[in-house]
Amino acid sequence: MQFALKKMGLDKKERIIFFNDIFSVGPVWKLSEEIGVKSRDEWMKQSMSDKFFEYNGYRERFEMVMNQINLIPDGEHVTIWVSDNAHEQTGMRYIVHLLKEKNIDITMINTTAAYKELFQVKKVKYKVLHTGEIPSEKLQFIYEQDFGQFLTLITDHDREELEREWLSLGESHETLRVWRNGRLQSITEDYYDDFIVKKAKRLFGKQNEFISVARVIGEVLGHLDQYLGDAFLEYRIRKLINSGVFELEGDLRSRCFYSLKLNRNESD
């Protein structure tokens, strides 16, 4: 989006604020408070970081974006670009909550609907899992259209409902969320473990030889209907290694340095 705005000469006029995060995974319990930000930071540090690299800066970046949102003055107009996935839908509810005391108009562009309407090829089944999958030139095209059909005003009633949903999420201790039938659902973080094992079995085949974890993650991502990110999948694979489902070859410091195969009992 930043590249698209720059190409249109609007990068000085339009300001983009974004979280470098994936809100479909990790705790959002009391995320509007210091204790919740600390809890999410600790979970990310322990679960999602590549141990070969030093983990740093997550909390500082997170709080910086929170402050940018809190400093938006009354009278501004905010447009949230959001697609149909738990990451962006959770993030939208969080942003609406952070703006709850502001006297501003908020509109939303559903990029899933816009992409389907403008770019979907007939007889080709493809669904955008998240806005980041859309190339900058197509985001530019959406922006330059008369996209009123995709632009929705978030009414006071809508904001109250989104706020209620956010407060409910903020009381949950689950660390995984999915988008099903137009609604957010909180589920246990091991929900996709069986799916990971199933796709791994298909990849390993009858030989069940060691394969790099990156290939396994790619196989799972290629068939997943949710946007969870590769770091979360590796986190669950590490859990499956620890529980004996997978055998390990190499060094767990980084996904570049280890491979895995199914435990003999699992491959039967």
> Is pLDDT above 90 for 256?
no
Nearest one of 63, 115, 108 to 89, comparing CA atoms? 108
Nearest one of 233, 215, 200 to 47, comparing CA atoms? 233
Digit-coded pLDDT (tens) for 6-52: 998 988 888 999 998 999 999 999 999 999 999 999 999 888 866 55
Digit-coded pLDDT (tens) for 59-99: 889 999 999 999 999 999 999 999 999 999 999 999 999 99
What is the arithmetic mean of pLDDT over 135-146? 87
Nearest one of 40, 135, 131 to 88, comparing CA atoms? 131
Strand pairing category for 77-82 and 105-110: parallel
> Is pLDDT above 80 for 265?
no
What is the arithmetic mean of pLDDT over 254-264? 84
What is the rounded distance in angstroms from the CA atom of residue 43 to the CA atom of residue 45? 5
Please report the DSSP string for 192-212 in residue order: THHHHHHHHHHHHTTTT--EE
Nearest one of 44, 120, 127, 119 to 85, comparing CA atoms? 127
Beta bridge partners of 248: 260
In the chain, beta strands by DSSP E: 77-82, 105-110, 151-153, 176-180, 183-187, 211-212, 246-250, 258-262
Q: Is the dihedral of CA 92, 98, 100, 103 positive or negative?
A: negative
> Taking the model in full, what pTM does it have?
0.91
